[in-house]
Amino acid sequence: MKVLYRCCAGLDIHRDSVSACIRRRGRGQAEATIEEQVFGTFTQELERLRSWLKKYKVRQVAMESTGVYWMPVWNVLERGFTLMLVNPATVRALQGQKTDRIDARRIAEYLQYGLLRGSFIPPRPIRQLRELTRMRVHIQQDRNRVVNRIARLLETVNIKLASVASNIVGKSGMAMLRLLASGVGDPGQLADQALGHLRPKIPELILALDGKPDDHFRWLLVELLNKLDWLAEELRRLDAQIAASSGPYADVLHRLATIPGVDRTTALILVAEFGVDMTCFPTAGHLASWAGLCPGNAESAGKRFSGRTRKGDRYIRRILVQSAWAASHTKDCFLATLFFRLAHRRGLKKAAVAVAHRIAVIAWCILAEQGVEYHERGGDHFDRRHPERTARKLTKRLDNLGFQVTLVRKKYAAERPPKPTVDPLECPRCARWGLPRCIHLLKRKHKPIPPPQ
């Protein structure tokens, strides 16, 4: 095999030790020269590892992703070396040949011959923003758990607040819960705390709040409310820190928020997970595949098996699927039309994943080009693409209901949608999508794509 790097290193990382192997192969040299050494994981030992690699003029370093133990090594070697983080599945050891020294030697050998693919590791500012947004997700999950515990606690004393109020920790619900915790048990006094749309439901609230609270219940409720307040304060401080860290990406966040179903919080997570430099993802399909939003490939002997999506980045997958559900409730929206168009054939859940895939593609287009925003094509996009076919389908439905329909085209009606910004001769696919610029010609120059026959 062709040698890609004359001198490179492989690291097998553990909690307390790092096994390093350097492979050097000069011109005309048949066998590679191997240098091996074991280092600790304290900062002084990692600095010694850095000096040892510089001594042999190593530039390319590959390491295996091992929990969080690779992160301090990456932070120390980030400057001065070209690092590659590889999936453990791609450097799996053979049975009976598994030691730290052999693992480091195998990683270095794979790297020297160019057999490794590195994972996407964004720059340090994006990684720090990613840690903040992921911490926010965990705090929000903790808060949801506390809310569920409060709901279960209310059920134990036969207080059915959740049966009347959709949000038991809203402004009205929190006022009732605090009165309950303070010792007030009169259902009328508790129901009088209702605000807004809950005011007409006061008679139902009086029935729902007529329970059997005791001192044990009130002590538990006080503890859960204190924990809820503490989490709310922690979330407020974290939001302030995220706002300070996301200042340089204000323009990108504004443009991402133009996508239906994507608010500022979702845009922050997109930037934190994707980054703002799309050179790591040559096409939008690469980004969607990395996020785990593409059908899986399982084929053998000409037969296709399961098309389940891979795991991918669970944080980005969760938020994009939630955005897809939010977009499905938007009126006169292309994404909502796409959702129900797919849900009719494939089901709601698969439609949500498909719309999440489309949102990821749109996000790539926005991040890849400066100044690009989402261009709404309207809820009637598919009708305008094939108006004759849509008219035939609707006429057939009316005919089945027993109506006689005569179609007459309006004299001044627009027969076609407005012309796309991309020349169809240059790229018919992007012209059909109505994109302002061709996404297939951004990263490489080639001849124009011929129009379909």
| Cα angle 95-99-102, degrees, rounded to a multiple of 5 | 90
Is the domain of 256 the same as that of 359?
Answer: yes
412: pLDDT strictly greater than 80: no
Mean pLDDT computed over every residue of the chain: 88
Q: What percentage of residues in the chain have a pLDDT greater than 90?
A: 60
**Model confidence at 335, in pLDDT bands (50, 70, 90)?**
very high
- The structure's pTM equals 0.81
Q: Give alpha helix (H) positions in 23-157.
A: 43-55, 70-77, 100-112, 124-156
Assigned domain for 29 exists: yes
| Alpha carbon separation from 376 to 1, 168, 248, 323 (Å, rounded) | 50, 36, 26, 16
Assess whether 129 and 241 both reside in one domain. Answer: yes
CA distances in angstroms from 184 to 24, 149, 163, 188, 209, listed in the order given: 78, 21, 20, 10, 11
pLDDT, residue 257, reads 93
Integer Cα distance of 360 and 284 in angstroms = 8
For residue 450, pLDDT over 70 is answered with no
Residue 181's pLDDT is what?
93
161 falls within a domain = yes
pLDDT value of position 444: 46
| Per-residue pLDDT tens digits for 298-325 | 777 778 777 788 888 889 999 999 999 9
Once rounded to an integer, what is the mean pLDDT over residues 158-187? 92
Residue 361 neighbours by CB distance under 10 Å: 17
Characterize the bridge pairing of strands 82-86 and 60-64: parallel
Residue 429 lies in a domain: no
Are 70 and 166 part of one and the same domain?
no
Query: Is 311 part of any domain?
Result: yes
Q: What percent of the chain has pLDDT over 70?
A: 91
Distance CA 202, CA 223 (A): 27
For residue 108, give its domain range.
Answer: 7-112
Average pLDDT over every residue of 145-166:
94
Q: Which DSSP string corresponds to 295-343?
A: ----EETTEE---PPP---HHHHHHHHHHHHHHTT-TT-HHHHHHHHHH
Question: Into how many domains does the chain fold?
Answer: 4
The tens digit of pLDDT for each residue in 77-127 reads 998 899 999 988 877 766 667 888 988 999 999 999 988 888 899 999 999
